Amino acid sequence: MGCSEAASAAGKPSDAEVLAEWERSGVRFAASSGRLEQVHDAARRRLLDCIVPTLDLGPILQEGGVYRGCWLESTGTINSELLARFVPSVAANTYLGFAKLQREDGLLPYKITEHGPVFRQIQLVTPLARSAWGYYLLHGKPQAFLRSMYDALAGFDRWLAEWRDTRGTGCVEAFCTFDTGHDGSPRFWHVPDTPHLGDPQRVDPHSPVLPFLAPDMTAHVYCQRLILAKMAEALGEPEESASAWRAKAEQTLDSLFRHCYDEEDAFFYDRDRQGELVRVQSDVLLRVLACEVGDRAFFDEALRRYLLCTRKFFTKYPFPSIAMDDPRFNPNSNYNSWAGPTNFLSIIRTAHAFEHHHRYVELTWVMQPLLSAMSRMTRFSQTLCPWTGEEGYTEAYSPAILGVLDYVERLCGILPVADEKGSLWFTGLVPYAMDHGTEVAEETAYSRNVDGAVFELFNTREGSEICRNGETWVRFPYGLRVVTDRKGGLLGVIGMVSVPVTGTVSYEGREIPVTVKGNEWLAFENGIFVSKRDIGVVYPTY
C-alpha cells in the first residue's frame, strides 16, 4: 500500500501526516518468500493505532492494546527510541510531553493519558536520558530539544534523590510492584502493586519488606547521570556540571554493587527492609546491563552464566522474565505477566545491552528465533510463549509492532546509528528458518532515505549489494555488516557470524580482500581493512 492509498484509509486526521513522514524515511522491506514481509507491512499499518493526538502535545506514541496511554518505562523511552528512526516527530512529541507535564517538584508522570498526566508511581526501566540523547544525535542535534530534556531530567534526578532513598544507601527504592513495571513477578510477591495511599512519596509503613533497594532502578539513575553529563557538555554548561554528574553516577554505581550485587551468584537482586536479598533471578539482569553497568568481561560472564545459558534465560524464544530453573517460573503468556513469559519489552531492550559491548554475533542468536516467531504473528501481542513462540496477551501492542520493525532493520536492513559519527549499518544477513524448516525470508531487500540519498540493500545467502541512488555502491560477502557514514563513505566492516568470513568487498571500482572473524571490527583505512577490535565470540552454555 502506497502512502496516498494508506492515507485515504487512515482513521485519524493525524494519520496522513504520520504516513507522509514514514514515506519520507524511504523505509521499505521486501522478501522473496515467507511471511515476514506481510508481517512487516502489517506492523507499519498497526503502528498508526498507537499514534494518537493527546492533550496539546500533538501526536504521541501510546502503548497500545489494553494500555490506553503513554508509559514512561516503555512508550516514553525504549518504544520511542525505536520509533525515532521511522517517525521522529512523534518520538520528539512523546519525549517532550513528559518534560512539559512534569510536576513542579520535579516528578515526571509515570503515564500520560487523554485525561492528563498521572503521578501515582514512578515506573522506571530504560533511562529517558539515553533515549533523548539518541534522538539528539540522530536528528541534527537540536539544542532547544536537548535543553528541555536536560532541565526536566535534572529536576527528576533531584526528586528521586529526595524521595526514593529513605534508607540512605544511595540506591533507588521501589515502594511497590508498579514502580518497575514488573506486574505479576515473583520478585514482588507480598508487595502491593501501588505506593502507600497512591502517593509516590510514601511507602507502606507496616510492610515487613519495603522499601526494596532496586537494582534496575538504581542502574537507571546511574546511566541517566552519565548521559546528563554528556548533555551538560553539549549545552555548554559550566565544566563542573558534567563533572558533578559523573561523580554522582559513580556514587550510584558503588551503591548498586554494594547493596544489590551478589558476587557468588554474579547476579543483581533487590534488598529488602530487613537486609535480605530477594533471590529471584529475573530480567532485572538484562535491565541493569542495558543501563551500561559493567565492562565487557562482566557482560561476557553474564552471557555465559545466564543470558546464553539454556538452563537460565536462553529459551527457544528468549528472553523469559524469570530464570527457567526457578520453581516460580511460569511460562503462561495468556495474561499480563512478568513471571516467566517472554515480553516484547525485554525483546526490544536487549539490543542495547549486547551492542554496547560489541556482542553482535551473540545478539543474532537471540534475534533469529524471534524473527521466526514474528513471521507467524497476527495480533502483535505483549508476550510470547518462551517454548513455542506463540502470541500471548493483548494485541496491537506498540513494543511488538516496533520490535518487528527494529529486528528486521537490525538483522537485514539499513540502520542509522545514534553515534557521533552518524554511522549507517548495512547488515548482510537473512532470517533463518528456525521453526520446522519454514522459510522466513530467503532473500531480502531494504531501502532507506538518508540526507537526500536513497540507499538500498539486497541480501542473498551468496552475498549482498548496496545501491546508492540506483547505482551499485558496495558489494560484500554474506555474514558481514558494512558500516558507512551518512553519505555512504565506507568506514569498515563487522563479522556477523561465528565463523570467519573471507571474500572481497567491491567499493569505488576496487576489489578489496577481506577476512573477518565473528564480532571483529575492521576499519577501512588507506584503501585496506585493518583490524581494530577482535573480542572473539561467547558461546551458549547449558
Q: Classify residue 401 by its DSSP letter.
A: H
What percentage of the chain exceeds 90 in pLDDT? 96
Last residue of a domain, one of 293, 325, 340: 293
pLDDT higher than 80, residue 7: no
pLDDT at position 282 over 50: yes
Whole-number Å distance between alpha carbons of 53 and 12 = 9
pLDDT for res 476: 98
Give the model confidence (pLDDT) of 91-125 as tens digits: 999 999 999 999 999 999 999 999 999 999 999 99
C-alpha span between 309 and 70 (Å, rounded): 34
Give the largest Cα separation in the chain, rounded. Answer: 74
User: Residue 439's pLDDT is what?
Assistant: 84
Whether 533 and 502 have beta carbons less than 8 Å apart is answered as no
Q: At what angle do helices 143-163 and 128-138 cross, to 10 degrees?
A: 170
Q: What counts of helices (H) and strands (E) characterise the chain? A: 14, 26
Q: What is the pLDDT of residue 4?
A: 40
Q: Is residue 62 part of a domain?
A: no
* Domain-terminating residue out of 293, 319, 351: 293
Cβ 269 vs Cβ 238: under 8 Å: no
- 307: in domain: no
User: In b/e form, how buried is each residue of 134-150, taking b as 16+ CB within 10 angstroms?
Assistant: bbbbbbeeeeebbebbb
What's the pLDDT at 10? 52
Mean pLDDT of 264-288: 98
Domain-terminating residue out of 273, 293, 313:
293
> In this structure, is residue 114 part of a structural domain?
no
Q: Residue 315 burial by CB count (10 A; 0-12/13-18/19+): exposed, middle or buried?
A: buried
Report pLDDT for 33: 85
Residues 128-183 have pLDDT tens digits of 999 999 999 999 999 999 999 999 999 999 999 999 999 999 999 999 999 999 99
Dihedrals φ, ψ of 68, to 5°?
-90, 95
Position 278 pLDDT exceeds 70: yes
**Does 8 have pLDDT greater than 60?**
no
| Residues spanned by the domain of 517 | 444-534
Assess if residue 111 is contained within a domain: no
Quote the mean pLDDT of the chain. 96
Q: Return contacts of 159-163, CB within 8 angstroms, 24+ apart.
A: 159/105, 159/106, 159/107, 160/122, 160/221, 163/200, 163/201
* Burial label, 442 (beta-carbon count in 10 A; 0-12, 13-18, 19+): middle
CATH of residue 281's domain is 1.50.10.10
Does residue 352 lie in a domain region? no
Pick the closest to residue 120 from 52, 71, 186, 170 (CA basis): 71
**177 in a structural domain:** yes
pLDDT at residue 273, rounded to an integer: 98
Residue 1: the pLDDT is: 40
Of 83, 217, 86, whose CA–CA distance to 161 is shortest?
Answer: 217
pLDDT at 245 over 90: yes
131 domain residue, yes or no: yes
C-alpha grid cell, residue 389? 513462540
- Residues in the chain, overall count: 542
pLDDT above 80 for 9:
no
71 pLDDT higher than 70:
yes
How many domains is the chain built from?
2
Question: Region 384-397: what's the mean pLDDT?
Answer: 97
Question: Span 380-397, mean pLDDT?
Answer: 97
Number of Cβ atoms within 10 Å of the Cβ of 327 = 7
Per-residue model confidence (pLDDT) at position 265 = 98
For the segment 363-370, the average pLDDT, to the nearest whole number, is 98
Spatial strand order of the sheet with 501-507 comes to: 28-31, 444-450, 453-459, 464-468, 471-476, 501-507, 510-516
Q: Is the pLDDT of residue 243 over 50?
A: yes
pLDDT tens for 443-479 read 999 999 999 999 999 999 999 999 999 999 999 999 9
Mean pLDDT for the stretch of residues 216-245: 98
3-state secondary structure (DSSP) of residue 100: helix
Q: Categorize the per-residue pLDDT at 3 as very low, low, confident or very high, splitting at 50, 70 and 90.
A: very low
Per 3-state DSSP, the chain is made up of helix, strand and coil in percentages (nearest 5) of 35, 20, 45
Residue 53 located in a structural domain? no
Contacts for 454 with CB less than 8 Å, ≥ 6 apart: 26, 447, 468, 469, 470
- 211: which 3 cell numbers? 522499601
Q: Which of 89, 64, 86 is nearest to 75 (CA)?
A: 64
